[in-house]
A and B are shown apart, each in its own frame.
Chain A
């Protein structure tokens, strides 16, 4: 079993390898870049604290994404009442800029980013993991805690909904296909 300093070295190594990807995953999940940094921090601290629970059944990357997904879901659950309020007051919801000093998005991708942000949480999660992060169905099912069948069916519905959102944003059906 690794001692504390060895664990720390491994976690720092994982941060160098996967920190960027984890941060972007959380940022896309939350649409709040400041909070995404806080939760990335929390993800790696949790990985350190619960390091002994990592059994190598999955890859380190999959395990870290599972933690990141759980801390994000916890945060979103706590934030729910505020989301309801911001839906009633639309201006509040739109205060978060797409690009800021933390995260810069290429201009041609802003529509896609915005359309993704408009999807419901489960659709967004499965698209990010399968299509953006390119996890396998099996890995995605581990991270989300779903069956593989649910991953496939939800992904299919999620992609259709994303396509509709993109059309709303001004994309033509021809360009998408």
Chain B
């Protein structure tokens, strides 16, 4: 039996050349290449964050528990020996990492450095995420700090794969819980961002509002009794922002 297309050379030739006779707009092809490249980068960035958290967070928890355990044992031993001098040395040791971070950051000026040192005990947001999440966060943060009437305004802006990760802490509203109820805070956010872009949840027992600012940018805001924490980033989803938020040293609300 003869092959069908051998009987129809014109049809066969026409079909063969159809591919060349269709012309895809060159600009659109290049634009799609850029989009694919960008979306692959986003995918890489997200999977690196997830991987990092899977490795890094349990390690931190383990180390923290070990240090906590040692501290507890040491404290008990010391208090048995001399109850009058229990904590002084240990407290200094705990303050050192934040001082090291402040000293080593090359992006901050002398005044900011002095302000940070002065307020080191008030700093709750992590200033060294670039050390633990170096695959995702592309360098040390720029830091802005303001002394407010009742506390501190602090912002760390980290470079990430696409854009920036913004982490801030504000004690602008002292005793927040007493002045506002949860619904007031939610209503305030709804009035700014619209009901459809707001989700209310909890982190460490504190009211947390998830705000979809645009298709590429999400923000979360956490209200504790003395602080407001805000995290926002380009191309990070809420789960990733919440994982970073868990690294905040939350005030205990007392």
Contacts and interface: CB of A to CB of B under 8 A. Distances in A.
Give the size category of B's interface with A.
20 to 34
B22 A12 contact: no
Nearest to B14: A112
A177 B7 contact: yes
Interface string A19-42: 111011001100000000100110
Interface string B17-46: 111011111001100110111011101100
Contact of A131 (B15, B22, B25, B44): B15
A137 to B, nearest CB: 11
Interface stretch (A60-68, A84-92, A156-164): A156-164
Contacts of A11: 36, 40
Given A103-B24, A104-B22, A162-B11, A8 B41 contact: yes
Nearest to B3: A156
A59 to B, nearest CB: 17
A127 B15 contact: yes
B7 A12 contact: no
A102 B24 contact: yes
Contacts of A20: 24, 29
B5 A159 contact: yes
A65 to B, nearest CB: 13
Contacts of B23: 103-105
Contacts of B32: 19, 23, 37, 40-41
B15 A27 contact: no
B4 interface: yes
Contacts of B83: none
B40 to A, nearest CB: 5
Contact of B33 (A4, A16, A21, A45): A16
A170 B5 CA distance: 20
Interface of A: 4-5, 8, 11-12, 15-16, 19-21, 23-24, 27-28, 37, 40-41, 44-45, 48-49, 101-106, 108-109, 112-113, 116, 127, 131-134, 155-156, 159-160, 162-163, 166, 175-177
Which A-B residue pairs are the 3 nearest by beta carbons? A106-B21, A131-B15, A109-B21
27 contacts: A5-B44, A8-B37, A8-B40, A8-B41, A11-B40, A15-B36, A19-B32, A19-B33, A37-B32, A40-B32, A45-B39, A102-B24, A102-B25, A102-B28, A103-B24, A104-B23, A105-B22, A106-B22, A109-B22, A112-B14, A112-B18, A116-B18, A156-B4, A160-B4, A175-B10, A176-B10, A177-B9
Given A19-B29, A45-B40, 4 more contacts: A101-B25, A104-B25, A109-B14, A177-B10
